[in-house]
Amino acid sequence: MTAPRQVLPGTTYLVTRRCADRRFLLRPSGLVNAVIEYVLAAKAQEYGILLHAYCVLSNHLHLVLCDPHGHLPLFMRDLGSSVARALNAAHGKWEWFWAPGSYSAVALQRPEDVLDKMAYTLANPVNAGLVRRGWEWPGLWSAPARIGAGPREVKRPAHYFREAGDTPASVPLELVCPAGFTSAEALRQGLTAALEEREGRAARALTDVGRSFLGARRVLTQSPFARPAPGEPRRGLRPRVASRDKWKRLEAIGRLETFLAAYREAWLAFSAGARATLFPEGTYWLRVTYGVACAPVG
């Protein structure tokens, strides 16, 4: 059984979601890029999500975002379902689109951790040996220069979304500077430097093992139903918090363990019939599904 997720307003996350069977169902194309970008912009606007960085590879996506109102589960539910329905229709398939289980959401503790995960996200196409620079990736990739540059309008794709339906003809998509930085310019400079360092390290690692980058052209020729060759690293640990500062990380883990212990105690009492049991702050699913009482967010 998956441990309960604590959802606290104002948390910044690195979010990851993967395609079923690692298939390339998100492989870049004009249609795929347009659908994901439109849905991402529309759902971020609907749920008040602040986007900092994103990258959509062929079989998974990464988002760095802030959730001011505690709506991350609703945002991810609607983002995932809308993308899955639209792209399943495009691919002529009806099976599972996303890998079983939930998305990964790692709570980031400090501005330095947010910057680190933004650089990690944008370096993903290079780390995967696909292109030499992140900006060469033909899929969705949020350029650092767009952070703090204001919104731009994303048009509704002609595919799947009915012109006479209830979806808007266009929605604004904006990359917001995360909290804790003196300015968007300072963030852009730090992110660009961190990204270049990661890309250089990935290129050297590829050279050391005698490999070369696949290249955008070959990426675009891959079938959406293909998947990586055997030997690709699989998912390992699934952390819920991240910080490069050991003590901040341990502090965050301690808070999460306290939440889980309090949740279990409340759940046992609730299951035994004590319906007025107070659940710990950040309890999400039981609150929205059954209306359980929760401690106020401090």
pLDDT tens, residue by residue, 163-194: 888 899 999 999 999 999 999 999 999 999 99
**Rounded CA separation 256/252 (Å):** 6
User: Reduced to 3 states, what is the DSSP secondary structure of residue 48?
Assistant: coil
Report how far apart, in Å, the C-alpha atoms of 32 and of each of 61, 82, 85, 239, 278 are: 13, 12, 12, 29, 44
Say if residues 298 and 281 touch (Cβ distance below 8 Å).
Answer: yes
**Alpha-carbon gap, residue 103 to 16, rounded angstroms:** 6
Residues sharing a CB contact under 8 Å with residue 162, sequence separation 6 or more, in sequence order: none
Average pLDDT (202-230) is 93
pLDDT band at 231 (very low <50, low <70, confident <90, very high): low
State whether the Cα torsion 174-243-206-99 is positive or negative: negative
pTM over 0.75: yes
Q: Which amino acid is residue 131, in one-letter code?
A: V
Residue 95 in tokens: 């099976």
Domain ranges of the chain: 11-244, 250-294
Tokens standing for residue 21: 């069977």
Q: Exposed, middle or buried, 253 (CB in 10 Å: 0-12/13-18/19+)? A: middle
What's the farthest any 2 CA atoms get from each other in the chain?
63
Q: What pLDDT shows up at residue 156? A: 96
* 161-183 as b/e: b if 16+ CB within 10 A: beeeeebbeebebbbbbbeebee
User: Is the pLDDT score of 211 beyond 70?
Assistant: yes
Q: Residue 235: which pLDDT band, with cuts at 50, 70 and 90? A: low
pLDDT band for position 93 (cuts 50, 70, 90): confident
Q: Is residue 27 very low, low, confident or very high in pLDDT (cuts 50, 70, 90)?
A: very high
CATH classification of 11-244, choosing from 3.30.465.10, 3.40.50.1820, 1.10.10.10, 3.30.70.1290? 3.30.70.1290
**Residue 18 reports pLDDT greater than 90:** yes
Residue 147 has φ and ψ, to the nearest 5°, of -70, 125
pLDDT tens digit sequence for 254-289 = 888 999 999 999 999 999 999 899 999 999 989 988
Rounded mean pLDDT, 53-63: 98
CA 102 from centre of chain: 12
More confident residue, 239 or 190: 190
pLDDT band, very low/low/confident/very high, at 249 (cuts 50, 70, 90)? confident
CA gap 172, 193 in Å, rounded: 28
**pLDDT, position 273:** 92
pLDDT at 195: 98
What is the structure's pLDDT at 244?
77
Q: Which pLDDT belongs to residue 229? A: 77
Q: Which two tokens stand for residue 80?
A: 């995932």
Helix, strand and coil content of the chain, in percent to the nearest 5, comes to: 40, 15, 40
Phi-psi region of 231 (alpha: psi -120 to 50; beta: other; left: phi over 0): left
Inform me whether the pLDDT recorded for 247 exceeds 80.
no
- Cα 240 from Cα 229, distance rounded (Å): 29
Res 236: pLDDT? 55
Residue 245 has pLDDT above 80, yes or no: no
